Amino acid sequence: MGEVTNKLAVSLCGIDMDNPIIPASGTFGYGYEFADLYDINMLGTFSFKGTTRQPRFGNATPRIAECPSGMLNAVGLQNPGVDAVIAHELPKMRAVFTKPVMANVSGFSLDEYIEVSSRLDAEDSVGWIELNISCPNVHGGGMAFGTCASSAESVVRAVRDVVKKPLIVKLSPNVTSIVEIAKAVEAAGADGVSLINTLLGMRIDLRRRKPLLANVTGGYSGAAVFPVALRMVYQVAGAVKIPVVGMGGVSSAEDVIEMMLAGATAVEIGAENLRNPWACRDIIQALPDVMDKYGIDSLASIIGAAQP
């Protein structure tokens, strides 16, 4: 297994990972929920549920809707709040996961982003801060910061001042130019960017003649968004010098390799975890054979290989 691990190994913002596979925030809880199904230490790492200062129940229901080749969610950052995450969730997580974890931080104000990031940055088990400035289904929340280059830059600069660990900024695809936002957060001191978050969508209930989701709109994710995500990862990776974490509709080892060829250093898997809870395990196990098929000796060697 050692040789296979070496073939799959990557380094993300200076932290070595056995492989590039990362379950995405909001699709993997705090890890221990999946630890009964398989040994989650086989993962590169995972991004735990988006954390805010206060506990949040989230949006009204219904807040999930199925779609062809994907799903809509308007969960609304349901989480127990940073105090409970540090006191209860991280100790339970540490009992089943030994590697550094990615802490996803969401907020509704500059002060909240600063406080929650600073608190989680101080936790030994946290390796990276993933700053979510791109949530599309919370009124007045993170996406307000992530859709304007100047506000994205200001929140990243403020968090950069209080965070010592690598800072990865999660970008919204619901913008005119994701490259402009990526360049702005790079200039503000981000160590990396992760993209894409969900695409804004909706469904209508034909019988009720009303929007299906109580929130009206939600974030669209799943296999259907992969080509859009891949295009954005390719564009951003070609425009910034910091590492890119690619995500959006990834559901196979082949998708992972496409993302890495486009320029991703690591790859997050989201909606597929909800469809198949063993998805990340299966993808990691499939990677060596797919690499052999395409003559790839190491994943680190193909990062950005499709760039001009």
Confidence band, pLDDT 50/70/90 cuts, at residue 137: low
Which of the following is catalytic: 13, 67, 135, 148?
135
Would you state the pLDDT for residue 171?
96
Average pLDDT over residues 53-59: 94
Q: What is the mean pLDDT of the chain?
A: 94
Would you state the pLDDT for residue 3?
66
- State the Cα–Cα distance between residues 142 and 161, nearest whole angstrom: 19
Would you state the pLDDT for residue 146?
83
Residue 308: is its pLDDT beyond 70? yes
Would you state the pLDDT for residue 139?
56
Active site residue 135: yes
Would you state the pLDDT for residue 1?
54
Average pLDDT over residues 87-114: 96
Average pLDDT over residues 106-112: 90
Give the predicted TM-score (pTM) of the model: 0.96
How many C-beta atoms surround the C-beta of residue 305 within 10 A?
A: 12
Backbone φ and ψ of 80, nearest 5° = -80, 0
Domains of the chain by residue range: 2-58+78-202+223-302
User: SS in 3 state form for the chain?
Assistant: CHHHHHHHCEEECCEEECCCEEECCCCCCCCHHHHCCCCHHHCCCCEEEEECCCCECCCCCCCEEEECCEEEECCCCCECCHHHHHHHHHHHHHCCCCCCEEEEECCCCHHHHHHHHHHHHCCCCEEEEEEECCCCCCCCCCHHHHCCHHHHHHHHHHHHCCCCCCEEEECCCCCCCHHHHHHHHHHCCCCEEEECCCEEECCEECCCCEECCCCCCEEEECHHHHHHHHHHHHHHHCCCCCCEEECCCCCCHHHHHHHHHHCEEEEEECHHHHHCCCHHHHHHHHHHHHHHHCCCCCHHHHCCCCCC
Confidence band, pLDDT 50/70/90 cuts, at residue 5: low
Residue 147: is its pLDDT beyond 90? no
Would you state the pLDDT for residue 93?
97
273: nearest Cα among 13, 29, 81:
29
Q: Which residues contact 5 (CB under 8 A, 6 or more apart)?
A: 18, 19
Average pLDDT over residues 40-69: 95
CATH fold, domain 2-58+78-202+223-302, is TIM Barrel (3.20.20)
More reliable by pLDDT, 65 or 5: 65
pLDDT in tens, 213-238: 999 999 999 999 999 999 999 999 99
Residue 135: is its pLDDT beyond 90? no
Ramachandran bin of 77, using left for φ above 0, alpha for ψ from -120 to 50, beta for the remaining angles: left
